[in-house]
Chains A and B, each alone.
Chain A
């Protein structure tokens, strides 16, 4: 482990990716993630990597597809409207079982929206987003250090499952500078072998990579195989942080930037002896349903806080059912609730429960 470096979130993604062995980056300018491709354009040539600015997000994700098919560790980053343009490619990548890492630095929507931090692409990222039955692993980090660690980890997971991994963050974390410790530079000869990659069929059978099958019976089986993979990921790759939940009677569920703010809220409320806890999902897909379900017997009510009009709240309601109330507090359009806003909402909910 190296020493602490003060770095912006969107630059930390880039450096961490390089340390994970990513040597190919294709991207298209869009705020608030421009520092990632800018950093890559400086840094990748220093490590014999390739940075290429694509003509569009559509081209970028398809360049990623090509590089991944050729066996490279590859990444692109974008923000909401660009992520929408990449959805066709994402669907293909899953169908082709190609690994890659895509960061979406989410901004206010819908449409052009604005460049302020938001969490309104949760559905798009966690429920598939493109056409067909598919999932991508999705992480929602809440500190720059966590962003670094999850970026690094994402490349291994992508290769392990031959599936895209999405980092869902926003401009608040992206533009924030924090001291971080980067993982060691991964030796490229320690990266997993990819015998399926397209390298030229010299002295071996040809490799075909595609998401195409005309026979519905066979395509059904391919789909079930993919579902088995998603099931395995659901069992093995759930990540979350539990904070002050041991004796909690009221639990906040929040991720990413808001997960971090909600933690401050919980600390403040605990000082007032209010038994509040926090579940901070880190993997948004697979979603940590289990830990929430387990808390149902001890908890009076849950409250979901999001920078959206309410998306993750649906997953929390799936975990809780109608056994406990699930309150929601959210602000869409790029507004960020403050710890004080959340504190007030918690108190309102508590008084509603009492009355």
Chain B
């Protein structure tokens, strides 16, 4: 898959590029706003990573211009500005996700994957399935191999989020942001405990585990090969 990286810090861009290429992406890099806009409008990309403060043109402005032209490529905004209203501004401009610097590469990769799959998922589903796991979004019920699994409302939300990103790595901060709307990281390992609770209910009585921990990155809900 081809990605566009618009980032003026060439060293950071080189690292990022290396990491992404190792993960199997083809990366084009633009170091200035106008160059980035030029590439974004002339080439087709599966996703874009855009820094906010760029020479020549603000990253948000690039996104706004692209969206105005009808370009719907998923965009992940990278920025050192981490206040909630900075995020809101970024998302309003047309960004699909917002990641603040410094970031863990695994976090960036997980979010990027989530973004690029999001485009394919139908938004008006009423049920999600993964292997023998099924959740009914209207009745808020979960069944596995026909057995009903009782979940707390918040556990259901976590599971729904994991289902929507099944096969991808979901990080702790993604869960905190999307399930709790917390934009900070509690010190106590609360998410780990929540996940292990959920795993207890999901996997304990079944042979194949679905909810996996990805060390140093997060969690992944998938059917093992």
A and B associate: no
B interface residues (Cβ-Cβ under 8 A, vs A): none
A interface residues (Cβ-Cβ under 8 A, vs B): none
